[in-house]
Chains A and B, each alone.
Chain A
């Protein structure tokens, strides 16, 4: 089955700086890679996603890049703000099925 590794587990950055979270996956048939943000006590919220036929996608301050050859994808947040503090999860959709395999999460802390 699919295996998703996510790093780092905790990331602390100064407000205004950029943050990068990295994930690798194992199943070359995986074709969809979403990122979720989860604030304390709340449900995971989809913030950006990318399909395997695209190398990069951007939405305002957040962007995702995908390297299919290396089976690697990353979340980039620029100009970080206090409200970006949360746990972020990457995930991969297994080839041929709709269930997602998630990474273990990254706790992003924005220092004032």
Chain B
């Protein structure tokens, strides 16, 4: 069974702080993704990664960066948090190699005050 975990369920940060969201998967998946979910907007892709040290921009990368130093771990970084980054952040992973199913983590609800 695929297991995707995220470091925090709830996080409260102040404007201007640097924020790290961590995601770990235990199924040796090649691909990892970060989405944000906002009411009425669905899920929107921020960044994804095909392999260690590889990253690709999604639809809304502005204000975010990512890091993938190990295959099982994918970090989302908010360099200087702003109130419009208050959201639910969901990490996902997929096996790759023609297998497209994505499995999601439980999410981190981030509030920036």
Contacts and interface: CB of A to CB of B under 8 A. Distances in A.
Contact of A97 (B43, B56, B102): B56
Interface stretch (B15-23, B75-83, B103-111): B103-111
Interface residues of A, number: 23
Contacts of B96: 98
A46 interface: yes
Contact of B104 (A43, A99, A103, A105): A43
A98 B94 contact: yes
Say what secondary structure dominates the interface of chain B: strand
Contact of A99 (B40, B42, B48): B48
A102 B100 CA distance: 15
Contact-size category for B? 20 to 34
A105 B39 CA distance: 9
Interface string A32-59: 1010100000111110010000000000
Contact of A104 (B33, B40, B102, B106): B40
Interface string B41-84: 11111001010000010110000000000000000000000000
Contact of B41 (A45, A100, A104): A104
21 contacts: A34-B102, A36-B104, A42-B106, A43-B104, A43-B105, A44-B104, A46-B101, A91-B43, A98-B31, A98-B48, A98-B50, A98-B100, A99-B33, A100-B45, A100-B102, A101-B45, A101-B59, A102-B42, A102-B44, A104-B40, A105-B42
Given A32-B100, A34-B101, A99-B45, 12 more contacts: A34-B100, A36-B104, A43-B90, A46-B101, A49-B101, A89-B42, A89-B43, A98-B31, A98-B48, A98-B100, A99-B58, A104-B40
